[in-house]
Chains A and B, each alone.
Chain A
Amino acid sequence: MSKYLLDKFLYTVDRDPELVERYRSDPGGTVEWWERDMANTLLNCHAAEKSTWLAFGEEERRALREHDYVALFGMGAHPFLTLTLFIAMFERDHGPLEYQIAYARAMDHITLPYPDIAT
Chain B
Amino acid sequence: MATVAAVIASTHHPFYYRASTSAGPDRPPFADEWVAKIEAFRQTLTRAEPDVLVMVGSDHFHQLWLDNMPQFLVGKAPFFDANWYNEEREFGLPRMRLAGDEDLAAYLLREGLDAGFDLAFSNELRIDHSVTCPIITLRPQADLPIVPVYTNIFAPPMPRPSRFMELGRALRRMVEAWPSDKRVAIIGTGHLSLELGGPRQFGPHGPDPEFDRKAVAWIANGDVDGCLAEVTLDSLHAPGNATHGFMDFMLMMGAAGDGVKADYTDSLDLFHTMEAYFTWYPSPAGKGASS
> Which A residues form the contact surface with B (CB < 8 A)?
4, 7-8, 11, 14-15, 17, 42-44, 69, 73, 78-84, 87-88, 97, 100-101, 103-105, 107-110, 112-114, 116-119
21 A-B pairs in the complex with CB atoms less than 8 angstroms apart? A8-B66, A69-B197, A73-B197, A78-B155, A79-B198, A83-B201, A84-B86, A88-B90, A97-B202, A100-B202, A104-B203, A108-B199, A109-B199, A110-B198, A110-B199, A113-B237, A114-B198, A116-B156, A117-B156, A118-B156, A119-B155
Interface centre among B86, B199, B238 (most CB of A within 10 A): B199
Report how far A17 CA is from B85 CA in the complex, Å: 8
- CB contacts (< 8 Å) of B230 on chain A: these are none
Cross-chain contact A43 with B197 (CB below 8 angstroms): no
Cross-chain contact A80 with B65 (CB below 8 angstroms): no
Cross-chain contact A43 with B65 (CB below 8 angstroms): yes
- CB contacts (< 8 Å) of A7 on chain B: these are 66
- CB contacts (< 8 Å) of B61 on chain A: these are 11, 78, 80-81
With contacts A114-B198, A117-B156, A119-B156 known, what are 18 further pairs, Cβ within 8 A? A4-B66, A8-B66, A42-B67, A43-B67, A44-B68, A79-B196, A79-B241, A79-B242, A80-B197, A84-B86, A88-B86, A97-B202, A100-B201, A100-B202, A101-B202, A109-B199, A112-B238, A114-B237
Interface of A is mostly: helix
Cross-chain contact B89 with A104 (CB below 8 angstroms): no
**What distance in Å separates the Cβ of B287 from its nearest Cβ neighbour in chain A?**
39
The 6 closest A-B pairs by CB, nearest first: A79-B197, A83-B197, A107-B199, A118-B156, A100-B202, A104-B201
The answer to whether A80 and B154 touch (CB under 8 A), given A4-B66, A14-B86, A87-B90, is: yes
- Asked if B60 is an interface residue, CB under 8 A from chain A, the answer is yes
Size bin of chain B's contact surface: 20 to 34
The residue of chain B having its C-beta at the shortest distance from the C-beta of A7 within the complex is B66
Report how far A80 CA is from B85 CA in the complex, Å: 16
**What distance in Å separates the Cβ of B156 from its nearest Cβ neighbour in chain A?**
4
Cross-chain contact A11 with B65 (CB below 8 angstroms): yes
Interface centre among B86, B155, B197, B202 (most CB of A within 10 A): B197
**What distance in Å separates the Cβ of A81 from its nearest Cβ neighbour in chain B?**
6
- CB contacts (< 8 Å) of A88 on chain B: these are 86, 89-90
